[in-house]
Copies of this chain bind each other. A is one copy, B any other.
Amino acid sequence: MNAPLKNDLYLRALKREAVERTPVWVMRQAGRYLPEYKRVRAQAGNFMNLCSNPELACEVTLQPIDRFNLDAAILFSDILTIPDAMGLDLTFETGEGPRFGKPIKNRADVDALPIPDPNDSLKYVMDAVSTIRRELDGRVPLIGFSGSPWTLATYMVEAGGSKDFSKVKGLLFSDPATLHVLLEKNAQAVISYLNAQVEAGAQALMVFDTWGGVLSPTNYQEFSLAYMQQIVDGVTRHAEGRDVPVTLFTKNGGQWLDLMAKTGCDGLGVDWTINLADARLRAGDSVALQGNLDPSVLYGSPESIRVEVKKVLDSYGDAPGHVFNLGHGIHQYVNPEHLTVMVEAVRELSAR
């Protein structure tokens, strides 16, 4: 039995309930900008060892909570655990990013893909979730997450990261039927993966659509949003006696917030290329908004960080439904003390 939740600001803000102050967490808050993270990372040997060791994954998940007193923890893991469990042979080479030894090349590869049982080949993730929940001891809620079906497909077809997405877009334009089969499988895998995370103790869910923004509007709807809709419809939205809010985040998706809100999700992640007042106009009133400080603000002076935090809070205004965050993951070379400045500014300036 997990401890009762002491700080539920994040969950309440996502349900657009009034809160005493704006909750704040940071994408990639457990990461390389923290010296204590780098120590554990070195101890683990390589990145996947760190993800697959529940005790170490728990340790790095809690580091930013301890240091910054943030309002939510997010499972430390990678978005590519699902394709790895499908047998695509994931490795991380230093400075090179992720690589798949067995990328998807054709319809036969797609047809052969298994949908992983999250309590079997992804059990290490569920063990991390339950370990983190236990160690959090009710301090703040734990967010579970996955990559979006489209974003997973880009890596699976490109065999890693990409600049111009030539292979996956070549597939999209020359053989869309095969891509749809792949996306359908990814969506099923994501749904069972996220539901297993909720069962293991995740109290909110987030879907990262890192690469939806490289598509045209119609292709975004057909190849990314349609499958996020399946996820919103398919995941557990209530557990342990309260709602499990779902947040969708498409980087460079500011133009499509209206379509994203219509999925019926609870929150939308917003990057910094749209101000939150405009984002609210586009998204309507059915969703909370998460964001949206430019991560590079943290390279500036403490004074300028406070100024920029205030601009974000002011652009959102006093209505309920704001979760403060960066508009993308925190950069590797940021001084952690600058994040302290940001978090304290949010707490102070948003107090009702």
Contacts and interface: CB of A to CB of B under 8 A. Distances in A.
A87 interface: no
A217 B217 CA distance: 21
Which residue, A218, A294, A296, A300, has most C-beta atoms of chain B within 10 A?
A: A296
Interface stretch (A19-27, A98-106, A169-177, A229-237): A169-177
Interface in A207-223: 213-219
Copies in the complex: 2
A299 B165 CA distance: 10
B254 A300 contact: no
Interface centre among A219, A297, A299 (most CB of B within 10 A): A299
A145 to B, nearest CB: 21
A255 B282 CA distance: 12
A301 to B, nearest CB: 5
A121 interface: no
B273 A173 contact: no
B299 A173 contact: yes
A48 interface: no
Given A164-B296, A164-B331, A216-B273, A308 B254 contact: no
Contacts of A61: none
Contacts of A216: 272-273, 275, 294
Contact of A304 (B174, B274, B308): B174
Contacts of A49: none
A224 interface: no
A240 to B, nearest CB: 38
Nearest to A333: B166
A252 interface: yes
A263 B308 CA distance: 27
Nearest to A307: B173
Contact of A169 (B164, B172, B217, B299): B299
A164 B275 contact: no
Contacts of A274: 217, 255
Interface string A287-315: 00000001111011100110010010000
Contacts of A170: 296, 299-300
Contacts of A272: 216
Given A172-B300, A216-B273, 12 more contacts: A164-B331, A166-B296, A169-B296, A170-B300, A173-B300, A174-B299, A174-B300, A214-B273, A217-B274, A217-B275, A218-B275, A255-B273
15 contacts: A164-B296, A165-B296, A166-B333, A167-B299, A169-B299, A169-B300, A172-B296, A172-B300, A174-B301, A214-B273, A216-B294, A217-B274, A217-B275, A218-B311, A255-B273
Interface of A: 164-167, 169-170, 172-174, 213-219, 252, 254-255, 272-275, 278, 294-297, 299-301, 304-305, 308, 311, 331, 333
